[in-house]
Structure formats: structure tokens, C-alpha cells
Amino acid sequence: MPKIIVLPHQDLCPEGAVLEAKSGDTVLDVALKNGIHIEHACEKSCACTTCHVIVREGFDSLEESTELEDDMLDKAWGLEPESRLGCQAEVTDEDLVVEIPRYTLNHASENH
């Protein structure tokens, strides 16, 4: 069973975590199921960047991102070549090492 290793994040997961995942689960769903409350303002519909994660290991095992996801990622704070939206990145049979960026941009709440 693949694992998602979440690197320490000051607010969401100070100690880091090793999470069990099933092939086809999204990074976001596995994190939420394990009490790591990554923001997801658009309710997992690929319409914002609040669930932005950086896949430090295992990136090449993921399906390629869609054009819609790439368009959203272009708006993400701290974008890196291994950036993905947690709601779109599905686990395969390889372990992943994931970093949750320190900041996110929530266009929905920041425009009010």
C-alpha cells in the first residue's frame, strides 16, 4: 500500500506524518482523512489553488496534470516544477513525499 509522507508544516502538521493511501486516492483526501486540514476553498473542484502541494518525491508516478489544473497552478503562491493541486494529484502505487507550502492564495476570500 503506498504511503504519503508529509513533510513538517508549522501550522498543519508540525511533526510531519506518514499516511497510508490507496491507489486512486487524492493527496488532499488522504491528508484530510488523517486530520491534516489542507485548505480547499473550491471543495475539490479544481477551481482555486488553496490545496497546492509540492511533490518532493514520486512526482513522476502521478498522472500528468490537466490543462485546467495547470491554469490554476499558474496562480499559486510559490509555484515549483513539482507543484500539483492536492485535489487532483491521485496516488498510484508509489510512495510520495509531499510538502505543503507555507502560504496559499484564496482568491475567493481575499477579494472581499
Kindly indicate the confidence band of residue 106, based on its pLDDT and cuts at 50, 70 and 90.
low
CATH number (3.50.50.60, 3.10.20.30, 3.30.1300.10, 3.10.290.10) of 3-110 reads 3.10.20.30
Going by C-alpha positions, the residue among 56, 65, 57 that lies closest to residue 90 is 65
Domain boundary assignment for the chain: 3-110
pLDDT in tens, 40-87: 999 999 999 999 999 999 999 999 999 999 999 999 989 999 999 999
Per-residue pLDDT reduced to its tens digit, 9-39: 999 999 999 999 999 999 999 999 999 999 9
Reported pTM:
0.91
The pLDDT value recorded for residue 8 is: 97
Q: Strand 96-99 and strand 3-6: pairing?
A: parallel
